[in-house]
Structure 1
Amino acid sequence: MQAKETLFADLVQGRAQQYQVPLYQRTYSWTEKQLRQLWSDVLEQAELIERGEKANTHFLGSVVLAPSPQNDATFPRWLVVDGQQRLTTLSLALAAIRDHIRDAEPDEAERIDEQYLINKWKTGSDHFRLLPTQADRPQFAAHVRGPLTEQAAGGGVAAAYTYFRRKLVEAADPAAPQDVFRIEQAITSRLTLVAVTAERGDNVHRIFESLNNTGLKLSQADLLRNYLFMKLHTRGEHVYESYWLPLQDSLSNEELEQLMWLQLVLDGDDRVRRQDLYAAQQQRFERGGASEEEIDAYIRELHRRAALFRRLLHPEEEPDAAVRAHLHRLDTWQAQATYPALMLLLDRRERGELDSSDTARAMSYVESFLVRRMICRVPPNNLNRIFQAVPGQLPLDMPVADGLHQLLSADNRFWPDDNELREKIQKAPFYQFGRPPQRKMVLQRLEESYEHPEPVDFAAAQLTIEHVMPQSPGDEWLRMLGEDVTDGENAKDLHSRLQHTLGNLTLTAVNSELSKHPFERKQGLLQGSHLEMNRRIAGTERWGAKEILARADELAGRAAALWPAPLRGVGRAERSRDWHLAHQVLAALPHGTWTSYGDLAAFLGSGAQAVGNHLASTPEVANLYRVLTSEGKVSAGFNWTSEDEEGDVRSLLSAAGVAFTVTGAADPAQRLTADDLALLVAEDDDRTEGADTSQSVPSNQDEETRANRFFRQLTADDSPETVEAVRALLASWEELGGWIGHGAGQVTTSAFLMLGEAGAPGRGIWPLTLYPGGGRGGTAQVVFQYLAAREPFTDRGLRLELLTRLNELEGVDIPEGRLELHPSFRLSLLEKDRNRELLAGTLAWFRDRWERRDAA
């Protein structure tokens, strides 16, 4: 056998040929479930074509072929051993496209026919490129030949053809139009197949049996779990017991898979499909050269987010009442498409970026977006794409709730405004759009808007939607409607136009009793209802067109108040990830430094994998090669995209001043963290934040409290010898004429070694800031970047001399690349007498240089 990857277009077009489905194959059996998945894949590929992306084709499956006994040299015939369902479905989809455009573009319709469906110059059964089993041939032939006959109706082939015709009409909706020729291109050139061709004499039936002997396949979550724990060589057991087992116990396998996909989306990947989860996450880890520490962190983050995800699945676990109410309604709406946005909101709230009130407000925009679109009959087929893009498109320059409001208000999101909402409530057949739970929820919310003092318990009440004017009106109803008709319309026309509108619908527990009764009978039943909207209906004298439209107008006002409107004039939504900032900071990397994918991601507020994807597709970025794995290695996925840019990465790193350890890794001392990167592009005011000497007056009680707090925190984390060494350092600094300022932080404080007038903002200078370690040991930070803006240390030669003097301390080795940053060393190094002496001499030199600044 021979196997090769191919496309439907390559398989069927070209010279006259035929693919025959053998007798032992079952008849065509795809249902709407398989058709719906295929159509979703086709639309996704059409969107990728629209964006100009050539990669990311969709693998459809295999096709196994064998030479037909009827084969001849001038007209090749192949038996379709496996894959007839796929080939039949794609052929029917193309027949539907041909017929969809036949009237408007007959030449294009003929092209599709001749390229994919027929052998133009052949007759009889040889006329068809695909020949299904005998049971399906009459229907298939009728749909390929067209126009359809009555004999072709019914059966799976006809159902599939009809499905595609319906979807093509839906795709042409003005609210979100899809180009039909991009859909054709997606079907013929973006769905890849593996064609396995058997030789004459091979037992093709044996091949068919082996291909269809299916077992229980591993899920995407299973594959990713296996991959992760194969990478956790030393800490796998701890991570599994501490994080994975609780995670696995709290979610089903399907839910866990969905959470893993959501984590990718939250990290900025707005295009990954759930069925590609394993491949996408594996590729990201491989590209970034993920260490055990990073995989451990990934699983911990998954564990943390699982608690948030459970609130989407089980809203009763949400503690805040307002947020819980929104989650309940969205759960009732079956709004799984909104999960990326909802997870982002819960995640940001947990991180302290918005409170519960703003979270509820943001969720009201999500709810309104869904409800208004449903009422206004906007097709829901692009909801997955819209909400999957939210984490990557959310504006970065405004609060989260406001940013989401703006993002969903973009012109290409189709969030109906108040005018459209009012018009559709009055005119659109609400009862025939959306799912039954969605329609019921809209009516429930409208009822709740009356704020009745004794509200109905909707969870316990068995309420259904009722047409006040019945769907099958009697003579009395028609006579009443006849009083409201206008020119060119009769009572039946008026009934047909208004019966399913929101103004004619209500909730009741006595639907069967109301049924087709005249309005007078319904009035009595509705009057006894506990629902305010029903009592209001019962309070009217009649129920005709005027009353229905008046009620629709009232409900429209309530709907506009319940579900916020979009903003006006927002324009189109575009990705807001500020990759320009990434380019800017990489261009600012000092000589002799490198950074990692994770560091750059943390600086951007993105994910390491998203950063890797962006850099891989943007080869013109300056210093691209200086982004390495966390171990200081070149990523296995790194490659130059053209010969002009190709080079030896290690040589380039060496030329940029990056040193290497004996293992071949970039020197970890030269690695810039996310905080370091932030300093590279920070404004001057940001670089000296927390260093205002006006906060550090040494003569009041508060200052004494800060000093006590500093030493209390230092004592809790460092040895008594280190604490005494720090006390000695601060005392020697005061002997040199300096003073000690302490930061005002309540969680972690600090100590500044100050020179200059105490309490005078902008007049002081300091070479070191000391920090308690918070569990990691205290550090002394050398503020080179701050000094670069203070005389006389604007002279780089003086800063370099300071660095050289500090590097004389045993255990201190600050790379020159950090001369523009805030490098640090451990305070525990001061336990050594020689180090204290050297540091005291360096500080005396620093004071002397500063005092002589005017003379210089």
Structure 2
Amino acid sequence: MQAKETLFADLVQGRAQQFQVPLYQRTYSWTDKHLKQLWRDILEQAELLEAAEEKASTHFLGSVVLAPSPQNEATFPRWLVVDGQQRLTTLSLALAAIRDHVAASNPDEAERINEEYLINKRKGGNDYLRLLPTQADRPQFAAHIRGSLTDHAICSGIATAYAFFRTKLVEADDPAAPQNVFLIEQAITSRLTLVSVTAERSDNVHRIFESLNNTGLKLSQADLLRNYLFMRLPTRGEHIYETYWLPLQDSLSNDELEQLMWLQLVLDGDDRVRRQDLYAAQQRRFEEGTTGEAEIEAYIRQLHRRGAHFRRLLHPEEEPDQAVRTALHRLDAWQAVVTYPALMLLFDRREQGELDSAETARALAYIESFLVRRMICRIPTNNLNRIFQSVPGQLPLDVPVTDGLHRLLSSENRFWPDDVELREKIRTAPFYQYGRWQQRKLVLQRLEESYGHPEPVDFAAAQLTIEHVMPQSPEDAWLRALAEDAGQEETAEQLHAQYQHTLGNLTLTAVNAELSNHPFGRKQDLLRGSHLEMNRRIAATERWGVREILARADELADHAIALWPAPLRGVGRAERSRDWQLAHQALAALRHGMWTSYGDLAAFLGSGAQAVGNHLANTPRVVNAYRVLTSDGRISEGFRWSTPQEAGSDDVRARLAADGVRFTATGAADPAQRLTAEDLAALLAGSDDDRADGEDTAEDAAVGTSPGQETRAERFFRQLSADDSPVTVEAVRSLFAHWEALGGWIGHGSGHVTTSAYLMLGESGGPGRGIWPMTLYPGGGRGGTAEVVFQYLAAREPFTDRALRAQLLSRLNTLDGVDLPEGKLELRPNIRLSLLEKERNRELLSETLTWFRNCWVNQGSS
């Protein structure tokens, strides 16, 4: 047996060869969680290449165990992949995605990638593939490598991983801050290290596999560094441990201590160090020079001093200055961990006397503004780590600290929106669909505070949630009012989609459920009694339509501009095309069989349908542009392929059909396969997306109610009975009884908009302790629905296996009236509860829930 460190390029490049995954191995099973972590590692290595830091540590990806295949030939080596097939398959799919990403603009490079890493050019049949997966995955993988995607099924992890990388490459190709796609390729092939274990025919490869994977509990980076430090303190160790280390260790958890050690490296100028490389980086620093006990002691004393600063970030109430404390509380509520390097720098400089508390509070206001304005303007957060980690090393030295931070954050490629952009986005962007729910709530809270009400609300005690003034499910009265504002070729439904989630239509209230979908007149009465100034102003408005929403947006923009300082002008800001980049990312993320409309894409962007059409018509190489159709599912009369290479064939309908889009007898695309603006937002957010504020989480569902109050279960059935038939209500009660007989329990949400019911398995009382297949909602005038939470199941065992989620979808589709397309496996589709009026549907759903419970018990729990 031979073991050596290698790179993906060294492993697969060279003469024709093949890596075969044995038939007995499991199918490809990497989930979104694994892919996201790998992508972060790839981008990190690409950034190191861009910065010409070749000496920086590479990323260790894991091991690959190979053995000669029984089909081995002297002129065509074949290897069995005993361990490592998931890594090899994923890297191959990432390279296939890069190949396809550059194919139209750089076909020679696409061909090079294909021949170097993916295919054996002069071989035929299965030998054409350099990696040959197990039989179950082979057709999927071959379709992506050969480029013949027309006949591939979508129910596979292979297709999901390929689509993930296509979407991320579009995101990385942002014209405002483009990342070199060939550096990403180089990072994959030459910066991700593997340990290749090559066995002889006589070796027991399974014993090797067992030894490699049977590892014990790893020491943390903090453990390793602590051991290293005190081994180098033979005479002063006990004193330093008791005086500095023990108090530090008692005040921070091990994870927090590790984070502090990493921050110390960043503050000392190492702005590229990764937390997982903390031990190696600090060890290298100590061993580069002459380091004795005095230097080790100085390091620990510095760590102890900065530990007090770090605790204030974790516990803002320990900060003595009120203005600084208030600012820290807001950043803590924002969950702004990414800003810690800059915050630690400010506390360090304040302790050294370079700025006082008033200047510190002003600097914190710049940081808050930077985060809030970017969030309102929907600027992706993927570069925030790099921005704030670079602050200690890039802060200007020729101006005071606070002014230097203002200048640095205003500089080119930091993308701090100015007043003009902020005002425009407050008017047009769907604020409710971006950022975390607590961030959205904090923005509205700050706006309310800015009115300076003489009796301000105690936000810590108030149970406030976000309310849509014009509701998300408007009744006819709302649509008639919107029709009054419609221009030529506009409908009330289009205006509703465009403005429902904008900031001008949102407020805070403690009576969200009472407001619900009532007409504006009824909402006025409730809002008039509110303690919030913004609600009283809404109540004083005679009607509520597009004009009023835009007028309120302008008013809120005035307050936002006063609240959150603007960047400096003339520091070298780059022009951006962020909104169109979001459109490109959304289209690249479309799954097989899915389509969207110009209006849906426009509502997602906060743009207009005509502008979307013009952009797609005039922008070459937008992935899946032909899958944007009119609202009735037809190909736009003005659609043209932007380049001959994109077309291949002029028959758009044939291309759509090949992509799995079904057509009705009238020639329109199947509306069941259409993705709305909300679907597009969820698709980009991924499985770790926060639910919108106003919706409950399953982890909150076990919270009880006070004695004497209407219980959540009573409230759920009261609201369900309001617009569903008694037969439907009784069917839901029977469904709950069946679920409880299976050993499950029903959790009810707190009812921010309406209440909800979760079909839960497992323990209550904490995140991650249970699993649920669907959430039931009363209809609020439109009939109750059951939301099937495929998006959340994708992160919960055993349903991280996409085949299991597909089986759940297939079982649900046996219900009469249910036809969920497979593209919805990434989302949270709804089915009508009224379908349960049919006895056969009740039986089929009960059987499906029994199957779900058995899957979880047998595979996902102990």
The residue aligned with 2:521 is 520
The answer to whether the 8 Å contact 1:372/1:421 transfers is yes
The residue aligned with 2:540 is 539
Q: CA deviation at 1:239?
A: 1.0
Q: CA deviation at 1:14?
A: 2.3
SS in 2 for 1:371: helix
Cα gap change, 1:547 to 1:399, in 2 (>3 Å): same
1:383 aligns with 2:390: no
Q: CA deviation at 1:346?
A: 1.1
For 2:249 and 2:566, how far apart are their aligned partners in 1? Answer: 40
1:22 aligns with 2:33: no
The residue aligned with 1:461 is 462
The residue aligned with 1:280 is 281
The residue aligned with 2:433 is 432
For 1:343 and 1:193, how far apart are their aligned partners in 2? Answer: 36
> What is the one-letter code of the residue matched to 2:191?
R
Q: CA deviation at 1:324?
A: 1.1
Q: Deviations over 1:547-590 (max 9, x none)?
A: 111111111111111110000112379xxxxxxxxxxxxxxxxx
For 2:382 and 2:215, how far apart are their aligned partners in 1? Answer: 32
The residue aligned with 2:319 is 318
Cα gap change, 1:141 to 1:463, in 2 (>3 Å): farther
The residue aligned with 2:163 is 162
Q: CA deviation at 1:329?
A: 1.2
SS in 2 for 1:403: helix
Q: CA deviation at 1:533?
A: 1.0
Cα gap change, 1:234 to 1:19, in 2 (>3 Å): same
Q: CA deviation at 1:484?
A: 1.2
For 1:453 and 1:42, how far apart are their aligned partners in 2? Answer: 53
Cα gap change, 1:25 to 1:229, in 2 (>3 Å): farther
For 2:371 and 2:138, how far apart are their aligned partners in 1? Answer: 44
Q: How does 1:793-808 map to 2 (within 5 A)?
A: none
SS in 2 for 1:506: strand
Any stretches of 5+ residues in structure 2 without a counterpart? 575-862
Q: Deviations over 1:626-652 (max 9, x none)?
A: xxxxxxxxxxxxxxxxxxxxxxxxxxx
Cα gap change, 1:150 to 1:484, in 2 (>3 Å): farther
> What is the one-letter code of the residue matched to 1:254?
D
Q: How does 1:88-127 map to 2 (within 5 A)?
A: 88-127=89-128
For 2:381 and 2:233, how far apart are their aligned partners in 1? Answer: 42
SS in 1 for 2:194: strand
SS in 2 for 1:507: strand
The residue aligned with 2:565 is 564
1:44 aligns with 2:44: yes
Any stretches of 5+ residues in structure 1 without a counterpart? 574-856
1:358 aligns with 2:359: yes
The residue aligned with 2:306 is 305
Cα gap change, 1:24 to 1:306, in 2 (>3 Å): farther
The residue aligned with 2:504 is 503
The answer to whether the 8 Å contact 2:64/2:82 transfers is yes
For 2:546 and 2:344, how far apart are their aligned partners in 1? Answer: 44
SS in 2 for 1:412: coil
> What is the one-letter code of the residue matched to 1:179?
N
The answer to whether the 8 Å contact 1:142/1:152 transfers is no
For 1:319 and 1:135, how far apart are their aligned partners in 2? Answer: 62
The answer to whether the 8 Å contact 1:143/1:152 transfers is no
The residue aligned with 2:350 is 349
For 2:495 and 2:44, how far apart are their aligned partners in 1? Answer: 41
Q: CA deviation at 1:151?
A: 4.9
The residue aligned with 1:34 is 34
Q: CA deviation at 1:150?
A: 6.8
The answer to whether the 8 Å contact 1:93/1:164 transfers is yes
For 1:119 and 1:197, how far apart are their aligned partners in 2? Answer: 22
1:201 aligns with 2:202: yes
SS in 2 for 1:85: helix
SS in 1 for 2:487: coil
The answer to whether the 8 Å contact 1:175/1:378 transfers is no
Larger Rg: 1
For 2:416 and 2:163, how far apart are their aligned partners in 1? Answer: 30
The answer to whether the 8 Å contact 1:262/1:340 transfers is yes
For 2:29 and 2:366, how far apart are their aligned partners in 1? Answer: 42
Q: CA deviation at 1:147?
A: 4.0
> What is the one-letter code of the residue matched to 1:307?
A
The answer to whether the 8 Å contact 1:20/1:79 transfers is yes
The residue aligned with 1:678 is none
For 2:147 and 2:471, how far apart are their aligned partners in 1? Answer: 41
For 1:558 and 1:128, how far apart are their aligned partners in 2? Answer: 60
Q: CA deviation at 1:277?
A: 0.5
Q: How does 1:407-446 map to 2 (within 5 A)?
A: 407-446=408-447
SS in 1 for 2:413: helix
For 1:364 and 1:164, how far apart are their aligned partners in 2? Answer: 37
The answer to whether the 8 Å contact 1:394/1:403 transfers is yes
SS in 2 for 1:152: coil
Q: How does 1:553-702 map to 2 (within 5 A)?
A: 553-571=554-572
The residue aligned with 2:6 is 6
Cα gap change, 1:419 to 1:297, in 2 (>3 Å): same
Q: CA deviation at 1:24?
A: 4.6
| Most deviating of 115-124 and 434-443 | 115-124
For 1:174 and 1:380, how far apart are their aligned partners in 2? Answer: 16
For 2:459 and 2:157, how far apart are their aligned partners in 1? Answer: 42
1:54 aligns with 2:54: yes
The residue aligned with 1:81 is 82
SS in 1 for 2:15: coil
The answer to whether the 8 Å contact 1:43/1:183 transfers is yes
Q: CA deviation at 1:321?
A: 1.3
SS in 1 for 2:149: coil
> What is the one-letter code of the residue matched to 2:21?
V
The residue aligned with 1:243 is 244
Cα gap change, 1:488 to 1:172, in 2 (>3 Å): farther
RCO higher in structure (CA 8 A, sep ≥6): 2
For 1:560 and 1:572, how far apart are their aligned partners in 2? Answer: 19
SS in 2 for 1:206: helix
SS in 1 for 2:30: coil
The answer to whether the 8 Å contact 2:63/2:84 transfers is yes
1:335 aligns with 2:336: yes
> What is the one-letter code of the residue matched to 2:489?
G
RMSD of the TM alignment (CA)? 1.7
The residue aligned with 2:270 is 269
For 1:36 and 1:123, how far apart are their aligned partners in 2? Answer: 34
For 2:96 and 2:539, how far apart are their aligned partners in 1? Answer: 54
For 1:322 and 1:542, how far apart are their aligned partners in 2? Answer: 40
Q: CA deviation at 1:2?
A: 2.0
SS in 1 for 2:168: helix
Q: CA deviation at 1:149?
A: 4.5
For 2:254 and 2:381, how far apart are their aligned partners in 1? Answer: 27
The answer to whether the 8 Å contact 1:175/1:414 transfers is no
Q: CA deviation at 1:251?
A: 0.8
The answer to whether the 8 Å contact 2:415/2:573 transfers is no
For 1:514 and 1:202, how far apart are their aligned partners in 2? Answer: 71
Q: Deviations over 1:515-543 (max 9, x none)?
A: 22221121122222221111111111111
The answer to whether the 8 Å contact 1:118/1:127 transfers is yes
The residue aligned with 1:476 is 477
Q: How does 1:704-743 map to 2 (within 5 A)?
A: none
For 1:191 and 1:572, how far apart are their aligned partners in 2? Answer: 34
Q: How does 1:396-407 map to 2 (within 5 A)?
A: 396-407=397-408
Structure 1 vs Structure 2: percent identity of aligned residues? Answer: 81
How many residues are treated as equivalent by the alignment?
Answer: 573
The answer to whether the 8 Å contact 2:90/2:161 transfers is yes
Q: CA deviation at 1:7?
A: 1.7
Q: Deviations over 1:94-129 (max 9, x none)?
A: 122222233333333333222222223333322221
The answer to whether the 8 Å contact 2:91/2:188 transfers is yes
> What is the one-letter code of the residue matched to 1:563?
W
| Most deviating of 296-305 and 8-17 | 8-17
Give the alignment's TM-score, normalised by structure 2: 0.65
SS in 1 for 2:382: helix
